Structure formats: C-alpha cells, structure tokens
C-alpha cells in the first residue's frame, strides 16, 4: 500500500464505515498499533473542535464515528425538512402502498381500492418522483398506468422492489 | 514442454481486422483486400494450431473476406454473386463497406477504452453509504426518524385497504340485490328482449346508470344466461356487450 | 439559529446528506446566496486537498458530496474486506459504449457494429441495471430498444450523458 499519512487514512475509514469503528479494527486495517490509533483519533478529535469544523468524532458502541456538532442540529433538521422531504400524508402512503403492491395500476383502480377519489395524491407522488407513468392500459380511454421509481426504493431504504414485506394471503374473494 | 506462443485476444472479427490494418501502418482506405485476407486467415490458422476455440463469427468473417477477394477476380457483371442473401450479422458488400464497418467498430472500441478509464477512477472513490444517516439520526437521541419511511408500514396499510375493500364489496352486492329485486330486473330484460328484433346493447337496459343499477342488471343478465334464456357476447375485448334471446 | 461559521455548517450538511447536495439546497438551508455557497464549497475542497485529509469533495448529479481520496482505495477495500469490485469485461464495455452513443438501439444493431453475437452481454448489463429497455422499434418483430440508466451515469461518475466525449473526438486520438 502507498505511504499515506495515517491520520487521513483513519479519517477516510471513518467517513465510509457503516458502523462505529473500533480501534482494533482500525489498527488491523492501517497496520499500526492500537496506541498509535488512539493517539491519531485524539488528534482528529481536537482538530475538528479547534478549527470549528462541521464534523465531530463521537464514541459509540466501543467504536468511533463521525457526526455533526450538536450546535448545528437546527440546520440539519432544516435540511431534512426542507423541500422534498415533508413526511408523506396518510392518503399519500395508502396510495403508495397500493401502487407498490399492485403496479402497474390506473388511477381508477387506485380509487376503487381506497374508496375515495384521490386526484391530487397521485400528482403529489409523481412530483416527488416516488411513482412514475409506466405505460397505458389497453382498455377504453387507455388510462395511464403507474408504478414505483428507484426514488421510491431509496425513500424506503429498499434495494429491490421484492424486498417489500410480503402480504399475508387474504381469503379469496367470492 | 513446447514453448507457448501468446496470441493477442480479439473481441471479434472487426477487432482483429483493425489490428491487422493498424500493423501495416498504411492509410486504412488503401488496404489491399488480398493481403488483409491472407493475414486474417493466417491468424485463424495460428489459433487452430494452438487448439484455441475459434468463435463462429471469425469464420463467418473469413468467408466474407474470401468472397470479397474472389469477387475482384471475376467480372463484376457476373450474376454469380447475386445468390444467397445471408442475413448474418456480417453482411459485407464491398471493401469500402468493410472499412467503414471496421472504422465504426474502432470508434466504439475507443469509447469503451474511455469508459474503462472512468470505471477505474470511480472504483477508487468511496462515498458515505446512503443508509448511514439513519444510524446517525437514531443515535442523536432526538429522532427525526420518520416511521412513514418504513416499508412495513406500506404493507400494513395495503393489507388494511384490501380487507376494507373486501368487506365493502360484499356489503354492496347484498344491499343491491335486496333493494332492486333481481326477479323484477330479469323480467324487465326478458320483456325487452322479446320485443326487440335485433340484439340489445347492455347499456340500453340501464335507466339511471348508477353503480347499483349496473350491478343488478349485470347480475340479472348472468342469471338469465344461466337459465339459458339469453345469449350474451362481445365483438371484441372491452367492446359493448350484446344480448339476444336464446331460442329454445 | 445560532451564529455559526457557514463553512462548518455546509460541511455538516454534506456529512449527513443522503444525496448530493445542490448549491440551491444549501443556500436555502443556510440562508446565504448561491454565490457564497459556491465560494465556501471551493474553500472546503481546497482545504481537503491542501491538508491531505481523508475527505474529498466530489460533484455528482449537479450536487456535491463527500468521498474518499482515490489513493486511499486500498485501505477502504481492506476495511470492507473486499477486493476491488469486479470490473466490466471488454465485451460488456464495448456493448455499453455502443448503447451509450447510439441509444435507443436494438440487439441486432449492436451485434452488427461489434461483428459478434453478444447475447449474454446485454443480459448481464440489464441485470446490473446499467442499461434498460426503453421501448420497441417499429420494425418487423418489434425488437426491444435499449438505453442507459441513471445507474450507468453513477457507475462512470458522469453527471449527464452529455459528459461522454463526442465520438469524433475519440477518433482523433491516433
């Protein structure tokens, strides 16, 4: 491996790690002693604070991870609530559930299941890119068919539409 | 053990041809089809000697090249060449056509090379995983975490909706039959059918077009079919429903 | 909101954002002009490089996100204990290049350019979501037409399909 300042290596590891990193793990990857790791982690922590950066080093689960300074929480909350991220209304979630499990599906079919005319809801979901037009039904009027988007998967943290929880079998309709 | 000859590997006949032309260091448009064909066959022979498997496309190209080569030896007016119009992936009409195809292939070979470089570069960069903020938000105690983002909630909602739909459908059909009277409607339909000389449209049986009426009329019709009183058909999928009396 | 150095706020936002952040979004959250945001992003980028840190600022999807320096890739791979992820085969890259520049295109047309029947390659690319069916050609048999996906752009670190160099330009390279 190329010679790199170990501190930057540790910072990179912390940036991409999915879980808190233990000094053992870091020492194993970087191939320096646990003591050296501890020293470098301390340096990192101090640098983050001294230069009033947007990053902090936190301990969690016997490991370390990067997080944001508590005093910036207002900004972070704003980030997650601004624009495209208001939580979905119940109507929107119901509609989304129907589309997810019954795609491709038309508006009329959605309304029939919900028992309500939900004109605006579909448009909202379209605008948020959680659903998209996937074709047209070969029936009178050739209504548009809707399906979910990659954005939808991301929103619910799914890798694949098949990761949607399976539905328990309902009794067969008479 | 015999020494091993290393043959370069080519993605396809165009790849090989391009390599051969490039080796000659001449303008591609002035290649000699005879020379190229010979070199091409030589390469295939070398592959054979090494017991390498030769993909069929390479052989098809060899045939195409030989054809081009012999074409030059025969009078161009000869009708000999107007035979089989092979719809193979490789149909080459002339040396110019061949060169055009090799050049086109080369463009995409370069493009593939560009993509390879980008790929190499990108593979070295790692980003924070997009699932990470969830962890972050949870450990921060004040949960911004929003349960509407849980797929399980979707499943639950859908299940509830399906159950409700089931209940409502049963209820609807029940009350409808009660209120309108199936018998009455069946009698109405048979009367209309007997009076009419030509088949009736389903829609002409309706007076109010309410959901309830459509359903009850449909049920009545089904019942009549069941009792062999009426014959029902559609001329095409989703077309209008036509009805006539079924003669005994 | 508390007075905070804007640069640290932006760094914090980049750290927690789930997707590349556009200057617009940042400007909206931090309440400073887009020009100021652009300036601060530049400062951040330079600082990361100058101090040889383990973090870099990258552009993607018209936004910005944090990633690691390419020269540390060996360590990251070790952390995830994966070798470099498999690269695409030459056949796959050639096919992908043809689809990228000639989309929408059918299998037969791809084969004609490559001079090879590449049945399996297209399927592999479909499975890897680098290409998708974008329609059907109005010709006998109505063969499927293929095009590239957003995943394709991401894979090659492109913001836009137009960032592909023009084909003629590739030709100049003798």
Question: How many Å apart are CA B214 and CA B187, to the nearest integer?
Answer: 16
Chain A residues whose beta carbon lies within 8 Å of the beta carbon of residue B130: 154
Provide the token pair at A126: 């379209």
Note whether B161 and A100 are within 8 A (CB). Answer: no
Note whether C72 and A4 are within 8 A (CB). Answer: yes
Note whether C106 and C144 are within 8 A (CB). Answer: yes
DSSP β-ladder status, C131-136 and C63-67:
unpaired
Provide the token pair at B44: 């295939």
B203 secondary structure, DSSP code: G
Residues in contact with C19: Cβ distance below 8 Å, sequence separation at least 6, in sequence order: B130, C61, C63, C65
The answer to whether the CB atoms of A15 and C66 lie below 8 A apart is yes
| Ranges assigned E (strand) in B93-229 | 200-201
Question: How many Å apart are CA A31 and CA A9, to the nearest integer?
Answer: 11
B touches which chains (3+ CB pairs under 8 A)?
Answer: A, C
Residues in contact with A153: Cβ distance below 8 Å, sequence separation at least 6, in sequence order: A159, A160, A161
- Closest to B221 (Cα-Cα) out of B210, C107, B213: B213
Question: How many Å apart are CA B131 and CA C18, to the nearest integer?
Answer: 7
Note whether A122 and B183 are within 8 A (CB). Answer: no
Task: Name the minimum distance, in Å, from the CA of C100 to any CA of chain A.
Answer: 20
Note whether A91 and B151 are within 8 A (CB). Answer: no
**What b/e readout covers C91-108, taking b as 16+ CB neighbours within 10 angstroms?**
bbbbbbbbbbbbebbbbe
C touches which chains (3+ CB pairs under 8 A)?
Answer: A, B
Note whether C94 and B116 are within 8 A (CB). Answer: no
pLDDT in tens, chain A (174 residues): 445 689 999 999 999 887 889 999 999 999 999 999 999 999 999 999 888 789 999 887 778 988 888 888 888 888 877 544 456 777 888 888 899 988 899 998 888 888 777 778 898 888 888 899 998 888 888 889 999 998 888 777 777 888 888 776 544 433
The answer to whether the CB atoms of A18 and B154 lie below 8 A apart is no
The answer to whether the CB atoms of B154 and A158 lie below 8 A apart is no
Which of A165, A171, A172 is most worth mutating to test chain B (most B CB atoms within 10 A of its CB)? A165
The answer to whether the CB atoms of C68 and B125 lie below 8 A apart is yes
Note whether C10 and A75 are within 8 A (CB). Answer: no
pLDDT digits (tens, 9 = 90+) for C17-53: 878 899 999 999 999 999 999 999 999 999 999 888 8
DSSP letters, A102-138, are H-SB-HHHHHHHHTS--HHHHHHHHHTTSEEEEEE-S
- Closest to C121 (Cα-Cα) out of C92, C90, C88: C92
pLDDT at C145 over 90: yes
The three-state secondary structure class of B115 is helix
pLDDT at B89 over 90: no
- Closest to C131 (Cα-Cα) out of C100, C106, C101, C108: C100
Which of B53, B86, B90, B125 is most worth mutating to test chain C (most C CB atoms within 10 A of its CB)? B125
Task: Name the minimum distance, in Å, from the CA of B47 to any CA of chain C.
Answer: 18
Q: Which residue of B has its CA nearest to C113?
A: B105
Other CB atoms within a 10 A radius of the CB of residue B118 amount to 16
pLDDT at B171 over 50: no
Question: How many Å apart are CA B229 and CA B243, to the nearest integer?
Answer: 10
Task: Name the minimum distance, in Å, from the CA of A125 to any CA of chain B.
Answer: 14
The three-state secondary structure class of C117 is coil
Provide the token pair at C143: 């063969």
pLDDT digits (tens, 9 = 90+) for C154-164: 889 888 888 88
């Amino acid at each position: 491996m190329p010679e790199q300042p170990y501190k930057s290596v540790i910072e990179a590891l912390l940036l991409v790690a999915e879980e808190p990193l233990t000094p053992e793990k870091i020492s194993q990857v970087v191939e320096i002693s646990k003591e050296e790791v501890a020293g470098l982690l301390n340096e990192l922590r101090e640098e983050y604070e001294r230069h009033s950066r947007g990053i902090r080093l936190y301990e969690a689960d016997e490991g370390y991870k990067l997080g944001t300074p508590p005093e910036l929480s207002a900004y972070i909350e704003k980030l997650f609530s601004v624009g495209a991220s208001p939580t979905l209304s119940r109507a929107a979630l119901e509609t989304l559930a129907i589309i997810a499990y019954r795609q491709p599906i038309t508006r009329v079919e959605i309304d029939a299941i919900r028992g309500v005319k939900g004109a605006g809801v579909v448009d909202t979901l379209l605008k948020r890119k959680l659903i998209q037009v996937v074709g047209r039904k070969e029936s009178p009027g050739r209504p548009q068919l809707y399906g979910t988007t990659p954005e939808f998967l991301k929103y619910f943290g799914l890798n694949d539409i098949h990761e949607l929880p399976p539905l328990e079998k309902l009794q067969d309709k008479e | 053990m015999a020494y091993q000859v290393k043959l370069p590997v080519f993605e396809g006949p165009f790849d090989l041809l391009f390599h051969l032309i490039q080796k000659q260091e001449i303008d591609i448009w002035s290649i000699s089809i005879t020379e190229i064909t010979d070199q091409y066959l030589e390469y295939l022979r070398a592959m054979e000697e090494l017991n390498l498997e030769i993909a069929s496309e390479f052989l098809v190209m060899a045939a195409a090249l030989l054809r081009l080569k012999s074409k030059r030896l025969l009078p161009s007016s000869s009708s000999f060449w107007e035979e089989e119009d092979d719809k193979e992936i490789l149909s080459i009409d002339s040396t110019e056509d061949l060169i055009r195809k090799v050049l086109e292939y080369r463009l995409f070979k370069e493009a593939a090379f560009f993509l390879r470089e980008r790929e190499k570069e990108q593979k070295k960069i790692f980003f924070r995983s997009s699932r990470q903020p969830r962890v972050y938000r949870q450990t921060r105690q004040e949960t911004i975490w929003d349960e509407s983002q849980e797929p399980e909630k979707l499943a639950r909602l859908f299940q509830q909706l399906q159950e409700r739909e089931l209940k409502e459908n049963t209820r609807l059909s029940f009350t409808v039959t009660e209120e309108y009277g199936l018998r009455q409607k069946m009698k109405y339909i048979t009367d209309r059918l007997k009076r009419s000389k030509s088949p009736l449209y389903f829609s002409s049986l309706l007076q109010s077009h309410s959901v309830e009426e459509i359903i009850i009329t449909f049920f009545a019709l089904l019942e009549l079919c069941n009792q062999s009183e009426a014959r029902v058909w559609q001329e095409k999928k989703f077309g209008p429903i036509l009805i006539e009396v079924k003669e005994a």
